[in-house]
Structure formats: structure tokens, C-alpha cells
């Protein structure tokens, strides 16, 4: 049984370009084929699962304050992580 389910509808998306190994791309493509979805859907759902399961990341998000400078008019948050982990 597949861990990820086939997408019900396509949400509004942003484009993200990344590089992965040949093997990872092969397995991503096969998994998408396996669940009758797109590779984008598999990546999105895998990241959503990762973000939900990472308790330390959840704490970081709660404490996150965007920098004062910079243009983040489209609502994107910077991807740079802090140098120190938040206090536990």
C-alpha cells in the first residue's frame, strides 16, 4: 500500500528547481507512477510530512520572526536556517 495518496485537486503552486541524484530522480518518477500522481505532488507531500513530523522544526516556526529588511512581498520566507537551534 502506498504511503502517499493520489492528489484530489491541484493547489496553486510556485516553481522550485532543484538538483537530485539520478537514482533519486528514478525512484521519485517510479513512485509518482505507482500512486498515479506527478513527481511534484510526491515531493510536496513528502516535504509536508517531514515538516509535520519534525517537532524541533515546529518549535522553530513558532518562534520565527522574519527579518526587517529584504523583499518578501510574495509571502515567501527566507530559506536560510538560523545558526543556533532554539532553546528547548
Distance from C-alpha of 21 to C-alpha of 26, rounded to nearest angstrom: 9
Contacts of 34 (CB under 8 A, 6+ apart): 2
Burial class (CB in 10 A: 0-12, 13-18, 19+), 70: exposed
Per-residue confidence (pLDDT) for residue 14, from 0 to 100: 87
Evaluate if residue 50 carries a pLDDT over 90.
Answer: yes
Q: Does residue 47 or residue 78 have the better pLDDT?
A: 47
The percentage of the chain sitting over the pLDDT mark of 90, rounded to a whole number, equals: 55
Q: Cβ(34)–Cβ(2) under 8 Å?
A: yes
Q: Among candidates 79, 20, 11, 77, which has minimal Cα distance to 41?
A: 11
Task: Give the global pTM.
Answer: 0.63
Q: Does residue 3 or residue 61 have the better pLDDT?
A: 61
Amino acid at each position: 500500500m502506498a504511503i502517499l495518496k493520489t492528489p484530489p485537486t491541484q493547489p496553486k503552486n510556485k516553481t522550485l528547481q532543484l538538483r537530485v541524484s539520478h537514482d533519486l530522480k528514478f525512484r521519485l518518477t517510479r513512485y509518482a507512477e505507482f500512486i498515479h500522481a506527478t513527481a511534484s505532488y510526491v515531493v510536496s507531500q513528502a516535504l509536508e510530512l517531514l515538516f509535520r513530523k519534525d517537532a524541533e522544526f515546529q518549535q522553530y516556526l513558532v518562534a520565527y520572526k522574519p527579518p526587517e529588511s529584504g523583499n518578501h512581498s510574495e509571502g515567501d520566507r527566507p530559506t536560510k536556517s538560523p545558526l543556533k537551534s532554539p532553546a528547548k
